[in-house]
Chains A and B, each alone.
Chain A
Amino acid sequence: MKAGLHTPRLHAPRLRTPLLFVGMAVLLIAVGVGQSWVVSLSILNLCLISAIMALGLNMQWGYAGLLNVGVMGFAALGGLAGVLISQSPVTEAWSAGGAGLGIALAVVVAAALLIVLLRRLVRRKALRTAGTAIIVVAGFFVARIFFDPAVDEIERIDSSTTGYLGGAGLPIILSWAVGGLLAAGAAWLIGKVALGLRSDYFAIATLGIAEIVITVIKNEDWLGRGVKNVTGLDRPVPYEIELQQSPWFLDLVHWLGADPITGSSIFVKLCYAVLFVLVLIAIVWLAERALNSPWGRMMRAIRDNEDAAAAMGKDVTRRHMQIFVLGAAVMGIAGAMLTTLDGQFTPGSYQPLRFTFLVWVMVIVGGSGNNWGAVFGGFLVWFVWVEAEPAGFWLMDAITAGLPEDNPLRAHLLDSAAYMRLIVMGLILLVVMRFSPRGIIPERRGR
């Protein structure tokens, strides 16, 4: 994880960053004028969430050089928090299966404690390994004795509408914080296991763990209904239908000379955008403070030369753990925000390409190690990801314009235009890596 993308050079021109963001704003306005403001604002909202996700990955990769290919898992845990916080609790399910689940959980915790104790007390390596294996296997079967019937009970209750434990019945905006905590907790556990592995092994391990997280969320219906999805989540902003019936809003729309239905949709999206911008500003502010502090310098020193940093007395493993947990928390926040925006939690929609590799493209293209770079990467890459589809369609239409309507080649090309976004994304990543390896807004050095 040394050198390479992080080779330092001079400052970027001072005006470059603001100009890039102005350009981004122009693009979004162009979509608003050319396509529609609803589309433009939906893109903006997802740009904001993408920027936060990219900030999280930038902490791990950009500050510390941790090759985390498990962004998807943390985002999904954040999303799960949206369900666990905002849905009302299913009391019948709790009374039917709560006790069984509690005992199963107690068994797991007891087994974990036993393992820790065993590893503290026993010195012989062979004994330790054998003991751990025995406790893991025994714990698994004992927990299953209580777990299986409890889960059956829970999933039987109104399986078409609930069939799960429900949530805490609190406002969904709280889930943004809880999602961050949930992801941070998971990161701590994963870090205990995987940090310290070589970088490429770490990458593969996190890729796999994220896949496991998704598999668990998909299949443990008692937790978040699995692939049956949870829809109609609580909202932190008003509903369009309420707006269309409230006099003050109708007056406002009338004064602006707009249509109430489009107006309400735009208003709701703007409310989300304001909330997201507030979160983004807070995270960027904290991240910039951290990066420019002695702590930030220490992280970069560890990233650039682990051995030298260790020789200076820095505890490399602990610092890696710290940044891994922090970055994961930011990804969890972004994941919870995404679930809030969607108003539903659909585990089937979590795919590594969209939630892990796309975020990687954002960070690398934007400029790893630079917070503004990550934010810009989040905006630009999401914009391209969304707009590549209509652009690809338009391009194919133009290329095949000479062919008759029912020509099979024309039909095939138009059908496949949607996949242009994958090709475009790959090309952007490769071109930036080749010709501007430190990204569009490179890391600032020499402080």
Chain B
Amino acid sequence: MTDVANAIVLLLNFVIVPGVAYGSQLALGALGVTLIFGILRFANFAHGDVMAFGTMVVLLTTWWFQGMGVGIAPLPTALIALPFGIVGAAAFNLAADRVVFRFYRRRKSPPVILLIASVGVMFALQGIVRFIIGPDDRRLADGARFIIKASEFKAATGLKEGLAIKLSQGLTLGVAAIAVAALFWFLHRTRAGKAMRAYSDNEDLALLSGVSPDRVVFYAWLIAGTLAAVAGTMYGIDKSYKPFTYFQLLLPIFASAILGGIGHPIGAVAGGFIVALSETAVTYAYKKFLRYLVPESWEPSGLMQLLSTDYKLAISFVILVVVLLVRPTGIFRGRVLS
């Protein structure tokens, strides 16, 4: 019996817990992408870098707070700096819309043009972020490290395998839950949110009913910026902050949004968790796990790893391609916000 418990703890520690934390970060990112797609109908290639921009503001504010000796130990200081990042990212999105996207929107340009314009924004934003803070890897987390330490867990349960839950992982899940709940409350309970859903579902009908397109678009950019800053900061606290990593995150984020059904908020959340968990599950070496479960003579000789961890990024795309082929609308039949 203890063998089974050990095996489960092993899996929890190395696959489920990190997967869930990463999944919440992807879900927050995918929500932003999906929201812009639902309202403006284009895939925003600049979203990863908006995350990097928001997180940069958080990092700069964190340094400022740390310099003044302000903190909320044991929680990371970045948490109280987060509102500044949200304001920064949302302001950037709104400015980008005003300077770049509004022009094409008013001309009713095809979505492809907006997509290419977002590549231009992406270039400029990557330059801005690196110009201000540089391309280096930086630590965003301070305060306590763990909620549960592996050694404490072992002592408490008497198992051979330890379960460690980092504070950043718990925080990520908590913050993501609050953000998602707030978003759904907004979309379903407020006038502006309902207008957004109506606009996404049927633009002409919504306009006919007196929904103001500029307001809807304003809220879409505002919320996408907010989610980007939250997602970026949580990722930064959990791992570290490096602008290039955030650009690379764009790939699994797109995969999550499409997997769940693009334009579909619940889908984006589900997609985020599926992508993250499959990334960790497929690249985990199951040798030790199996050793607990099978008789000694069956013990596998190899690592029992499906793919090496280097292929992490590739997995989300294999999933993506398979989904696009088998069920192009995604799990939740996307394209509209509902």
Which residue numbers of A lie inside 8 Å of B, CB to CB?
A: 1-5, 67, 129, 148, 193-194, 197-201, 203-205, 207-209, 211-212, 215-216, 218-219, 353, 357, 360-361, 364, 415-416, 419-427, 429-430, 433-434, 437
Partner of A357, one of B117, B123, B254: B123
A204-B254, A205-B324 known; A426-B130 Cβ under 8 A = no
Query: Bound complex: CA of A437 vs CA of B103, how far in Å?
Result: 12
Interface residues of B in 14-47 (CB under 8 A from A): 42-43
* B66 interface residue (CB < 8 Å to A): no
Query: Bound complex: CA of A427 vs CA of B103, how far in Å?
Result: 15
A204-B254, A211-B251 known; A2-B321 Cβ under 8 A = no
Q: Is the CB of B119 within 8 A of A357?
A: yes
Query: In the assembled complex, which residues on chain B have CB atoms less than 8 Å from the CB atom of A148?
Result: 302
Q: Is the CB of B324 within 8 A of A422?
A: no
Q: Is the CB of B112 within 8 A of A4?
A: yes
Interface locus among B170-178, B206-214, B309-317: B309-317
In this complex, what residue of B is CB-closest to A208?
B317
Partner of B128, one of A204, A216, A421, A423: A423
Query: Bound complex: CA of A424 vs CA of B255, how far in Å?
Result: 30
A4-B112, A215-B310 known; A427-B324 Cβ under 8 A = no
Query: Bound complex: CA of A425 vs CA of B251, how far in Å?
Result: 22
Q: Is the CB of A194 within 8 A of B314?
A: no
Partner of B119, one of A2, A211, A429, A434: A429
Interface residues of B in 291-338 (CB under 8 A from A): 302, 308, 310-311, 313-314, 316-318, 320-321, 324-326, 328
Q: Is the CB of A203 within 8 A of B115?
A: yes
Query: Bound complex: CA of A201 vs CA of B121, how far in Å?
Result: 20
Q: Is the CB of B320 within 8 A of A204?
A: yes
In this complex, what residue of A is CB-closest to B116?
A364
Partner of A419, one of B110, B112, B131, B254: B131
Max chain B C-beta neighbours (<10 A), residue from A2, A212, A427: A212
> Can you give 16 contacting A-B residue pairs, CB < 8 Å?
A1-B110, A129-B326, A200-B115, A204-B258, A205-B320, A207-B254, A211-B317, A360-B119, A416-B131, A416-B134, A422-B126, A422-B130, A423-B123, A429-B120, A430-B100, A430-B117
Interface string of B85-120 (1 = CB under 8 A from A): 000000000000000100100000111110111011
Query: Bound complex: CA of A215 vs CA of B109, how far in Å?
Result: 35
In this complex, what residue of B is CB-closest to A204?
B254
Q: Is the CB of B43 within 8 A of A433?
A: no
* B122 interface residue (CB < 8 Å to A): yes
* B127 interface residue (CB < 8 Å to A): yes
A200-B43, A211-B317 known; A427-B124 Cβ under 8 A = yes
* B125 interface residue (CB < 8 Å to A): yes
Max chain A C-beta neighbours (<10 A), residue from B123, B128, B310: B123
Q: Is the CB of A426 within 8 A of B317?
A: no
A77 smallest CB distance to B (angstroms): 16
Interface residue tally for chain B (C-beta within 8 Å): 46
Q: Is the CB of A422 within 8 A of B314?
A: no
Which residue numbers of B lie inside 8 Å of A, CB to CB?
A: 42-43, 100, 103, 109-113, 115-117, 119-128, 130-132, 134, 247, 251, 254-255, 258, 302, 308, 310-311, 313-314, 316-318, 320-321, 324-326, 328
Top 7 closest pairs, chain A to chain B, by CB: A426-B124, A422-B127, A426-B123, A208-B317, A423-B127, A429-B120, A430-B120
Query: Bound complex: CA of A1 vs CA of B115, how far in Å?
Result: 11
Query: Bound complex: CA of A426 vs CA of B131, how far in Å?
Result: 14
Q: Is the CB of B122 within 8 A of A357?
A: yes
Query: In the assembled complex, which residues on chain A have CB atoms less than 8 Å from the CB atom of B247?
Result: 353
Q: Is the CB of B43 within 8 A of A215?
A: no
Query: Bound complex: CA of A1 vs CA of B326, how far in Å?
Result: 23
A171 smallest CB distance to B (angstroms): 33
Partner of A434, one of B43, B103, B110: B103
Query: Bound complex: CA of A243 vs CA of B164, how far in Å?
Result: 64
Q: Is the CB of A193 within 8 A of B321?
A: yes
A361-B123, A423-B128, A426-B125 known; A197-B328 Cβ under 8 A = yes
Query: Bound complex: CA of A200 vs CA of B302, how far in Å?
Result: 41
A388 smallest CB distance to B (angstroms): 10
Q: Is the CB of B320 within 8 A of A208?
A: yes
Q: Is the CB of A426 within 8 A of B318?
A: no
Query: In the assembled complex, which residues on chain A have CB atoms less than 8 Å from the CB atom of B325?
Result: 193
A302 smallest CB distance to B (angstroms): 15
Query: In the assembled complex, which residues on chain A have CB atoms less than 8 Å from the CB atom of B310?
Result: 215, 218-219
Query: Bound complex: CA of A208 vs CA of B252, how far in Å?
Result: 9
Query: In the assembled complex, which residues on chain B have CB atoms less than 8 Å from the CB atom of A424?
Result: 127
Q: Is the CB of A353 within 8 A of B328?
A: no
In this complex, what residue of A is CB-closest to B335?
A198
Q: Is the CB of A194 within 8 A of B321?
A: yes
Q: Is the CB of B255 within 8 A of A208?
A: yes
Query: In the assembled complex, which residues on chain A have CB atoms less than 8 Å from the CB atom of B317?
Result: 205, 208-209, 211-212
Query: In the assembled complex, which residues on chain B have CB atoms less than 8 Å from the CB atom of A218?
Result: 310
Q: Is the CB of B117 within 8 A of A433?
A: yes
Query: In the assembled complex, which residues on chain B have CB atoms less than 8 Å from the CB atom of A419?
Result: 126-127, 130-131
A129-B326, A422-B127 known; A3-B110 Cβ under 8 A = yes
Query: In the assembled complex, which residues on chain A have CB atoms less than 8 Å from the CB atom of B120?
Result: 361, 426-427, 429-430, 433
Q: Is the CB of A430 within 8 A of B328?
A: no
Query: Bound complex: CA of A236 vs CA of B183, how far in Å?
Result: 60
Q: Is the CB of B311 within 8 A of A219?
A: yes
Query: Bound complex: CA of A204 vs CA of B42, how far in Å?
Result: 11
Query: In the assembled complex, which residues on chain A have CB atoms less than 8 Å from the CB atom of B110?
Result: 1-4
Query: In the assembled complex, which residues on chain A have CB atoms less than 8 Å from the CB atom of B314?
Result: 211-212, 215-216
Query: Bound complex: CA of A381 vs CA of B252, how far in Å?
Result: 29
Query: Bound complex: CA of A430 vs CA of B302, how far in Å?
Result: 52
Query: In the assembled complex, which residues on chain B have CB atoms less than 8 Å from the CB atom of A67?
Result: 112, 115
A25 smallest CB distance to B (angstroms): 27
In this complex, what residue of B is CB-closest to A358?
B123
Q: Is the CB of B321 within 8 A of A199?
A: no
Query: In the assembled complex, which residues on chain B have CB atoms less than 8 Å from the CB atom of A423?
Result: 123-124, 127-128, 131
Query: Bound complex: CA of A423 vs CA of B121, how far in Å?
Result: 9
Q: Is the CB of A429 within 8 A of B123?
A: yes
Query: Bound complex: CA of A420 vs CA of B112, how far in Å?
Result: 27
In this complex, what residue of A is CB-closest to B133?
A416
A2-B110, A148-B302 known; A197-B324 Cβ under 8 A = yes
